[in-house]
Every structure is written in C-alpha cells, then in structure tokens.
A and B are shown apart, each in its own frame.
Chain A
Amino acid sequence: MRSKRPLYLLIITALLAAYYLFLGIYLNKLGYYNQESLFYIEKTKILFDGLGNRLKIMGLTSPMLPFFGTFIFSFKNSLLAPVFASAIGTAMLFYVMASTLTKRSHDDFYLLLILVVFVFHPGMLYTACSGKSIYMVLIFFYLFFFHIIRYYKSNTTFHVSIASICLVILVFCDYKFIWLTLFFIPLVLFIAIQSLNLGEKETIFRLFKSFNSPALRRKLINKTFAIYIIIFILPLSTVLIFKMLNLTHANDLDYFIDSPYATWTVLADRMSFEQATSFSHYQSSQISPLVTASIALFCPMIVVAIYLFRHNTYETLTIMAPFAFVEFLQIKYDKIFLSYEYFLIFLVLSLLCLILRGHSHDKQMHMKTILSILVLFQLYTGYTFLKKSFISEERDFATVLFNPAPVDKQAGNREMADYINTLPSNGRILIDDAIAYPVISFTDHVQRLTLPYQETYLSASEAPEHYVSYILIATDTNPMTSYTQLNYRYVPAIKHSDNNLNLQKVYETDDWILYKVF
C-alpha cells in the first residue's frame, strides 16, 4: 500500500487538477475574468498573431514568469489559458506539499488535512480557478521557505542556493517579494552568531563576545556576509539585469513596474484603491498593525506553526519574517490594498510547518483535534475575507463561486470586441492597450490592430486617416479614461489639428466608442 503512495498521490493530484479545471472553466463561462488574466491573454495574442517587433512584449511583460506560465497553455484556447495555468499550477502545489509530507510521515490525517484545504478553502479555489498568478507565487514561496528551513538543519549549500533560486523566481512572479530580503537581514546575522563556536548560550552575550574578539569578529562578519551573498546575490543581480534589459529596450529602468504596457498592476492597483476609497466606510483592517491580527484571524493555523517551532529560534524568526514583510508592504504601498495573495502565503507557510513538524508532535490526538477545528474555521474565514475584500475582483470571485449566476463585468468589453471582430479584414483599428487590453483579449484578429508596441502607432495617432480605418476611444465614463491618450479629449484635439479628418461614431458601449476614420 505504502509503496503505491506516490501513484495515489499522482492520481489525487490529477483529480484535483480536473476539479479545478472544471470549476475554473465553469466560472469562466459564467463570465468571471480578472485584470491579470485578461492582460496575459492580450499579450499572448500579440505574441502569437501580432505584427511588428514583439520582442519587448515577450521580454518585458511583467510579472514575467506567470506570463510565460500562461503562454505555454495558450496553444489551444488563449482565453482559457490562465485558468489552465492556475488550475494545473495549484494542483502541482498540492503535489509538492503532499509529496514532502509523505516522505516524512505515513499518517494520512495530515494528507487529508491538506487535501481538505485544497478542495474547499475559498482562497485555494481562488488561486486555482481565477487564472491569476497566485499559484506560482505560492509554489515558490513554499519552496523558498522549505529550503531555508531545511538549510538550518542540514547546513548544506544545496538548500541555501535552491532557496535563493526560488526567491529569484518568486521575485519574478511578484516583484514586491524583493522586499522580503529586508527581513532576512537580522535573521542572517542571528544565524551567523549562533553558528560560532562559543561557550556562551545567550544571543546577546554571544554577540558581545564575538564583537570584542578580533578573530571572532572577522569570522562572524565573513560568515554573515557569505550567507547574505549566497541568498541575496541572485535575486538582486537578476533584478538588476532585468532593469538593464528594460533600460536598453524601453529606455526606462522601471518600465516593467511602472508602465501599463508592461504590467497589469499599475492601473489595476490604482483603480481598485480609487474605487475602494470612495466607499464611505473606514477600511480598518488594512491599517497596520491590525494586518498582523487579520492574518492571525484569517489563518490561525500559523499560531500552531509557530508553536511547533517554539524551541527553534531560527525557524520561528523565519516564520515571523513574512509578517514583517506584509506590514512593510502595507506601509510602503499605502495606496494599494493588500491582495488576498498576501494572506494566502500564511496558509501555505502554516501547512509547511505542519508538514515538517505536525506529525512528530507528542500529543497527536490533541494536535489533530485542534487542527481539524482550525481548518474548518479557516474555511469560513477564507470565505469571509474573500467576500469582504477591498479588491473588487476578489469579491466578484466569491460572489460567482457561491452564487453561480452569469456576471457581466466584461460584457461591455466583450460586446465591443465582438463588433470589432465583424469589421472588414482590411480595416485597421487604432487601440491603446494600456487600458483596452480587455477588449483586445476578446478580439479574434490582433493583426488588424495598431497598438503602442508597433512603430506606426505614434504616426497613426497623429494622422489616423493615413494609417487606420477605426479608432477605439475610452468614454468619459470609463473608469480608466484618464490613463490613455485615446480618450474623449482625443477626438476634438485631433479634429482641431487636422481639419480634413472626419470621424464617425460606428459603435458605442458604456466604456468605449469606436470611430470610423474618413
């Protein structure tokens, strides 16, 4: 039986992937989309069918790895590719976790516990079925912490360097994780102090001793520095290289985080904050230090995780580091709400701790009872947090998941795209995909579009009659209208500069107007 565990695990993973796919495709058919997946769909379409130099799209679209993760599922159906990626990716996360567990414990309770979380936790369903890149963040977040904790025990370069590589990938899944490095700085010093051969046990005295002896001081500094380098040089240098690529190809070091053409987060974050702050109620749980409290409420299992490692100072501090990280994000990005992803990392972290230590706890009965209760509680908090999220697409997911009825958030975009699809094949359309990427993601013929990545775009926007037959304009009711040049102010301006230009409105939705150019 036990020899067949890997096979059973594979079967469970496959079933889980099928379950996620079924759910994801169903939600997709009901009309659930989010900004991130639409952005990836649009970029994928450009890469497959677009004209002109697509190198910048391929190389600088950010976050890079989730984009490629979606890209590889795009050969059949680009609209469903993000869902395929997230469903299979989340199932892989389950497999990685479960296989780590089965190598350590033969107790199926813990496997069942993980399975329950993956099948029923709204957060995991959101990860798997939304088409967002959270799955990739969670996989590499898990692997990073797994290898860091393993390093403390094994002291091998293998684990620390794999952790570093995972951190690189994590940063390229979500750039904000670069700040996680900050919170390992004191931790590394602590590890270095602990690893010195000193008679003294108390950390503060060890520190005192090692700083007052030249030989020990040199040793301490060398070791601390070496660990910093080995963990952080890869993420920092890869970010530097990526910035360099941005500079050479887009003349801007921060193009990948600042440009709406490179990343979906720029506008999505602004929009969600603007919309949310217009609410009348006070957003109390997003005010530090209550974030830590909300995390503990969202995932009380993290307290058990800390309890399990209470005698291991490194591990405890490591588990605490993400708390500091999230608090920091809250301060650093004060105009952005913390997305659900940053709560889910604690769920994954607590599962990791359970995988590593849960089965070796003395009082298994107590442990299992507490964990069962906590998991059930977390299913509820998971739902509540999703339902009451400040980010609309998270709330939408909860709504469509628990009240399966068609949603029409993208109806306007889809309607406009459907109309564009019916236009004659020789009619070129000028579109600014900074905000119109949802429309493009629903269109069938990207090669008919003139987009900002193409060399002709600027000329076309200056003299449309020579280059295009249609222009897509954002209406003044479009919430993102101020982030594009092609908005309601463009039409009078271009008419003013070119008296011979005739524009005729041919199709209109709430957010878009399509003009025909004469």
Chain B
Amino acid sequence: MRTSVPDLSVNKSPEFNPKGLSIPELLVSDGFITRAERGRIEKFANKSDLSFIKVALSFGHISRKNYYRSIANAGYEVQPIRELAFDKDVLSKIELEFADSHLALPLRIENNKVVTVMADPTDRLFVDFIRMTYNMEPEIIVADDLDIVWFSHKLIGEKYVKSAVFELLNRDPDSSALTTFTAPQLVLLFLLLGLIAAGLVLNFKAVTIILNVAMSVFFLVAIVFKLFLSLVGSRFELHQAVTKDDVRDLIEADLPVYTILLPVYKEDKLIKKLIWNLQSLDYPREKLDVKLLIEEDDEKTLNAVRNLDFPATFEVIIVPFHMPQTKPKACNYGLLFARGEYLTIYDAEDIPDTDQLKKVVSLFNKLPENYICVQSALNYFNRNENFLTRMFTLEYSYWFDYMLPGLDTLDIPIPLGGTSNHFKMANLIELGAWDPFNVTEDADLGVRAYAKGYKVAIVNSTTYEEANNEPINWIRQRSRWIKGYMQTYLVHMRNPAKLVKKIGWKGFLGFNFFVGATPITFLIYPVLLFVFLSYVVFNIAAIKSLFPDWVLFISIFNLMVGNILMIYVNMMAVFKRRFYELILFAIANPIYWLMHSAAAYMGLYQLIVNPFYWEKTNHGLSKINNPTNVIK
C-alpha cells in the first residue's frame, strides 16, 4: 500500500518530490533499499517503536550520504538547524525518547504553525503528533538527523543528564564519590600522619625501622597473595565457561535484545573501525541496540559519523554538557535510552571475539539468578608494537586470565575491567548504574554488586583493545585508573565495619589487597627502591643504621622474591596466551612499575586537586592493522 505525502509546508526546491513518494518509497525507487528490505525495516520499526528512518539509518540499511543524496534528488533541501530559535513551552510537550526515535523535533510556533525539524519529512506519525499536541499544522524543516539528535538532546535532555549525574547520589549517597574524603577519613589520615611524625621525632631510627618492616611485610603478603590467586586462576585455564556447542545450541529467535554502549570522545579516527568490528559480531542485527554516546562538544566524532559513506550500525546519542564530563556519566545517560535485556560497554577501538555476546547469553542462561555481570578478558591486538604495548599485554594477560578468574573462584569482589563487562540491565539499574564521579566506575560497580549479594562471572572470551603505545599517554591513562582505585577505596572504606558485613572478611581483605593496596604499592615502590639502592650502591651510613641485619634480610628477601614472583606470574600469563615472544619482557617489570609509580603520584595529586577530572586516553595511535577476531 502506498502512502501519499501529506500536504505540508516543507522546505523544498521547485521540482520537489514530483512523484509524491514517501521516504521509504523514495529509497526503494532510488534503489538504495529493496522492497523486501523496506518490509523488514517497517516490521522492525513497528515492533520496536522506532521510526522507519531511525531504523534505516541506525541498523545498517542505508548510509547517511545515500539517504541525503536521495532526498536531495527528490527536491528536499537539508538545512542547518543548530542556530534556530526555539520555544521552551513547545519543547516541554515532547518527550526526548519520542523525538529521538522519530529523528524530529518541534521548535517553536511561527505563523500559526509549529516549526518542526525532521529527518524524514514524510513521517506521518510524527506529523500527527504535532497536529494533535499543538493543534496546528507543522512547518517542516528537513534537517540532518545527527543535527536533530544533537539539538534534541541539548534542548530537552537536561532532566536525563541530571538523572545520569545525580541518580546514584540521590539514591545511595554513601556510594557516591562526589565527596572524596569524608571527615572521619581525614581525621584518621592526619592522626596517622601525626603519630608517625611524632614517632619520628621521638625515636627516628626505631620508627623508621618499624615502617620499613611493615612496608616490606605488606609487599610480600600482597605479592604472595597475588601468586596464590594466579595459581588458582591458572588451574581453570582449560575450563570453558561456555563451549562452542553451547553457542551453537542457542536459538537466534530467542536471543534477547542486547544493548551495546559505545562512549566515545574525539574518536573520529576510529569510527570506521568501530563499524567494521560491530558488523563482525555474531548476533542478529535487529536484536542489537548499539548506542554511540557522543559528547555535546565533540564535533569531530559527530562529523566522522556524518561523513561515513557506508551504513552505520549504531544509533547516535548526544550527551548534553554537564559536569563531571566522565565516561560513566555518558554511560548512565545512554542507559536511559537502552532497550536491551543485557547491556555491555565497548570502547571505540575494541575488537570483541565475534561470538562474545552469544557466549554471554549462554552463560547467563546457565548461571544462577544472582550473577548479574559477566566480564570478558581484555587483551591487545598491537602487543608487538613497542616496549610499552608488550608490557601492557603482559599486565593484561596476567590480570584478566589469572587474577580475575582467581578472584572469581575465591568469591572475592572483582574490580571489573573498563569494557566488555556485560550486565543484566534490570540489575544494573537497581544498583544505581555507574558513579559519574568515579573515574574507575567499573571497579566501583564490581564492589557495589558484591555488596548487594550479586556475583560476577568470567567468560572465556576476549576483547582485543589498542594498547597505549606512547609513554605520556600511558601515564595519563594509568593515573586515571589509579586515581579511580583511590576513589573507590575511599568510598567503600567510609565504614569498614559495614563493608565487612556486606562482603564478608574474605571480600574485605580481597578489596583491601586489590583496590586499596594497588595505589599504595605503586606510591611506596620508588621510595623503597631508592632507599635500598642508596644503601647498596652508595653505602650511605645514615641509611645503614635503618637496616639492621634482620631488616636487611627481610628487605633483600622481599625485593628479590617479590620481584621474581611478580615477574613469574606475568610470564605464566603470556605463556598461557602463547605469546612466547613476550616472556622475557616480564623481566622489565620493575621498570614498568616505576612508570606506574609516576602515574600513581599524578593520580594522587589529581585526587586532591581535581578528583573528577577524566584524563582522556588517546586512541587510534597504533599503526598496527587490527584483524577482526573471528571465532570459527
């Protein structure tokens, strides 16, 4: 059945749409989509409450360039709209979700008509909405859909962005990192510092020796614990949480809608790669709800999407400007528009195993109800690029292949990785989603999930990312992570007794060793190394008195055994991954840890002066071509 174009005032050239076709008809007539495809789009649009044009542009049916070429040929003139005047009263009558799903927005009343920007001027449903809501005819301005999205989120997205920022704070203020240090924490901290200072004044040597030994013992216990965890983790090396048969047994029609959030900021270089990676995912396209979250001020990425000359497989969401400008805030904002039963986050440069989503669905089907999150392993596709990428690969292999499975086995809270953590949507919302004030929102969420009695599982699937290959960029990224760990530690240690009650002693100790000890270790490491080297190399007499024989014995033992064990677990991890060429690089770990220490000090400084600042990591610097990780 053909629908006729309504008689509306539309910006058009003289030879406007001579055949009087609707946009779907126009696209079929121009050969950009087939009739069958049009039928599929309409069916899916009806089922998902989205407009035809939204589905066509966001689910890989037609590229934006072709679409606008088609409507231009039909006589429509696409106008810039960002500077147009708007009336808040008019805007107050439309919901953002509706505007977003129809790629249209009424702006103001003019000449007794509602000035409305639309990407599809033939969208009858929206036109009827305008007529019924405002009791006037629309004055349609055809505009770029991305401009409409940008404009609509900016103009009517305020309550959503407020919700994204303050939801957790309002619901559970104790879990929000808005307050970095609480008063009791500050009192305790200064009390401790005061006691140490007083002790140093009263008996410098004894107190220094005590501190020295305490630090050494702490180091050793932490490292032995990590070795233990690695061995526990490596035990399950061959265990496959989900097998190929499990994946094969899934019925596509029964698969749930899966939301993928892609928070990006100035990632214009990666958009093409991103689409390629998303297209490689083995999951029914119409059951994917992919949302590219672009910040309001990020013109670069928006233009990159606009200039794509092939169909996009994601929906663009513009995150209105609001402090703090962090990834979790963007994710919370995207969450408000998510339609999936499950949700995951990928970075723009991520290359997940193609069957990852199916594996997660299968695993969730197997697991008890209280498992609300599944973490995939992360690794790097550009591991052999330079020293830094090699070291990063060693670290990630050890962390995701051994530590997290080890924590999982011992039922200790898992600090989630930045991406590829898959959630049950309902539970994620129940938890209050991500903390926008926390710069490692993932680790924080992992602990919060455990505190509520939920569990996190590990799936045998890997997402390949781009390892940071520039030292400064690396330090910036790492400083954010370490700052985030400090924030997370401070948040959850506001009431240690309560935390013990929530996650038990095992979880409490695990949390302290992993989240708390990590920044402390990196802060202390260069100090101890400096003192020790000064003692050994320069034989400074003053330092010598701080190392009586037995302290020296413990220190040497710690320094050597600690380093060796950490090097060894790194070796184990790359051995497991069969990255044999990297094994010797594990020896360079002590140098790599010095870089961590630099980042830790930067993180500490920022924690004090600028706790919510999101130290942006530049992606797309790698020159390595990244093949898609196809699972056969």
Contacts and interface: CB of A to CB of B under 8 A. Distances in A.
A150 B168 CA distance: 50
20 contacts: A59-B553, A154-B238, A155-B238, A157-B237, A157-B572, A158-B231, A158-B237, A164-B568, A222-B581, A223-B580, A229-B571, A229-B583, A229-B584, A230-B571, A230-B583, A238-B561, A238-B564, A245-B557, A249-B549, A249-B553
Interface string B221-251: 0000000000100110110000000000000
Contact of B571 (A53, A222, A233, A248): A233
A55 B550 contact: yes
Given A230-B575, A241-B557, 5 more contacts: A55-B549, A157-B575, A157-B576, A230-B572, A241-B561
A156 B234 contact: yes
A413 interface: no
A161 B549 contact: no
B583 A237 contact: no
Given A156-B237, A161-B231, A223-B580, A245 B556 contact: yes
B499 interface: no
B552 interface: yes
Contacts of A267: none
B231 A162 contact: yes
Contacts of A303: none
B201 interface: no
A394 to B, nearest CB: 35
Contacts of A244: 556, 560
Main secondary structure, interface of A, reads: helix
A55 B548 CA distance: 11
B552 A248 contact: yes
Interface in A147-163: 154-158, 160-162
A324 to B, nearest CB: 26
Nearest to A224: B580
Interface in B563-586: 564, 567-568, 571-573, 575-576, 580-581, 583-584
A15 interface: no
Interface string A346-385: 0000000000000000000000000000000000000000
A195 to B, nearest CB: 10
B564 A234 contact: yes
Given A156-B238, A230-B571, A234-B568, A225 B552 contact: no
A226 interface: yes
Contact of B234 (A157, A219, A222, A223): A157
Interface in B530-564: 549-550, 552-553, 556-557, 560-561, 564
Contacts of A59: 553
Interface in A201-219: 219
Contacts of A233: 564, 567-568, 571
A343 B303 CA distance: 77
A89 to B, nearest CB: 22
B580 A225 contact: yes
Contact of B568 (A53, A154, A161, A245): A161
A229 B579 CA distance: 13
Interface of A: 53, 55, 59, 154-158, 160-162, 164, 219, 222-223, 225-226, 229-230, 233-234, 237-238, 241, 244-245, 248-249
A248 B560 CA distance: 13
A234 B568 CA distance: 7
A428 B326 CA distance: 74
Given A158-B237, A161-B231, A226 B575 contact: yes
A226 B237 CA distance: 18
The range of chain B's interface size is 20 to 34
A28 B572 CA distance: 46
Contact of B572 (A53, A55, A161): A161
A225 B584 CA distance: 9
Nearest to A240: B560
Closest 3 CB pairs of A and B: A222-B580, A226-B580, A158-B234
Max chain B CB contacts within 10 Å: which of A55, A226, A245? A226
Contacts of B553: 55, 59, 245, 248-249
B384 to A, nearest CB: 12
A222 B581 CA distance: 6
Contacts of A238: 561, 564
B432 to A, nearest CB: 38
A343 B439 CA distance: 61
Nearest to A222: B580
Interface string B332-368: 0000000000000000000000000000000000000
Contacts of B584: 225, 229
B238 A241 contact: no
A161 B234 contact: yes
Nearest to A234: B568
A153 to B, nearest CB: 11
A223 B574 CA distance: 11
Contact of B560 (A53, A154, A241): A241
B564 A237 contact: yes
A154 B553 CA distance: 39
A365 to B, nearest CB: 35
A229 B564 CA distance: 12
B549 A53 contact: yes
Nearest to B568: A234
Given A157-B572, A157-B575, A230-B575, A225 B583 contact: yes
A241 B237 CA distance: 30
A230 B572 CA distance: 7
Which of the listed residues B237, B567, B583 has the most CB atoms from chain A within 10 Å of its own CB?
Answer: B583
A241 B561 CA distance: 8
A186 to B, nearest CB: 19
A245 B235 CA distance: 33
Given A55-B549, A226-B580, A241-B564, A248 B556 contact: yes
Contacts of B568: 161, 164, 233-234
Contacts of B550: 55
Contacts of A162: 231
A236 to B, nearest CB: 10
A43 B572 CA distance: 37
Contacts of A249: 549, 552-553
A234 B571 CA distance: 11
Contacts of B581: 222
Contacts of A160: 575
Contacts of B238: 154-156
Nearest to A161: B572
B20 to A, nearest CB: 64
B185 to A, nearest CB: 39
A177 B12 CA distance: 89
B355 to A, nearest CB: 23
Contacts of B237: 156-158
Nearest to A162: B231
Nearest to B560: A241
A212 B584 CA distance: 24
A155 B576 CA distance: 9
B613 to A, nearest CB: 39
Given A157-B575, A161-B231, A248-B556, A226 B564 contact: no
A35 to B, nearest CB: 27
Interface string B185-221: 0000000000000000000000000000000000000
Contacts of B575: 157, 160, 226, 230
Contacts of B561: 238, 241
A62 to B, nearest CB: 15
Contacts of A230: 571-572, 575, 583
Contacts of B557: 241, 245
Nearest to B576: A157
A230 B573 CA distance: 10
A362 B132 CA distance: 86
A177 B553 CA distance: 25
A160 B583 CA distance: 15
Contacts of A241: 556-557, 560-561, 564
B576 to A, nearest CB: 4
Contacts of A53: 549
